[in-house]
Amino acid sequence: MGDAITVEDLGNMSYRDAWRLQEEAVEKVAAGADETLFIVEHPAVVTLGRRDDSIKNLKTSPQKLERLGVEVVHSDRGGDITFHGPGQIVAYPIIRLANHGFMVSGYVHWLEAMVIAALAELGIQGQTDPEAVGVWVSDGEKLAKICAIGVRIRRGTSLHGLALNVSTDLAGFAHIVPCGLTDRGVTSIGKILGVKSPPLAEVKEILIRHLTTGLAASRRAETRSSPANDSSQ
């Protein structure tokens, strides 16, 4: 069984096309192929998670969004509603959870930890919130989300992942109630660091390094334990 991880930078690709590649990769990885980390930027798109009521957090009609060039996609990932757009690094790890000793919740927390470590290199203090998945930073007396996380596990293998706002136009989030949280804002590395913000390519390298070295450190030999159940977070 493959124990390496292949990194594929997909460049700018539609959400649906990247989703299709993930679906294909999940079947291969679940069957024993090398694990894969897809890195991508999406054109402007609003995605809704598997929660039945996530549509209520769409503030702009799909018809108007279409006129604005923003696609709306009903995804099968966990979580609520979010926005993707240029300047946002999206990472989709296609990995076998059992190979890394992860249960679903532990995998989500691991993703949060990798993003927090990457942000720390840039001088940004990220944090988690026990009441909401993702990575947050202090925004006055409130928290603002800098990285959204939503995953799906099938045949013990992950798809979907995280979206880190680097130089994202945050106006795109005005079309939604991000993650369904009315009292929270969104932010980006560019907004926090201003002119000191590094280029997206540099942030991408840092994030990839943390994800790949973190996966290598967590990888362990196959055990007789059952793979994670089909689930979402």
Secondary structure element (H or E) that encloses residue 47, with its range:
strand 45-48
Query: Within a 10 A sphere around the Cβ of 22, how many other Cβ atoms?
Result: 23
179 noted as active-site residue: yes
Please report the sign of the dihedral spanned by the C-alpha atoms of residue 71, residue 153, residue 215, residue 131.
Answer: positive
CB neighbourhood size of 54 (10 A): 21
- How far is the C-alpha of 169 from the C-alpha of 44, rounded, in Å? 10
Task: State the pairing for strand pair 71-74/45-48.
Answer: parallel
Residues contacting residue 185 through CB under 8 Å, at least 6 positions apart? 139, 142, 144, 145, 178
- Which is catalytic among the residues 94, 146, 179, 200? 179
Backbone CA torsion sign across 80, 38, 208, 85: negative
Catalytic residue positions, numbered: 179
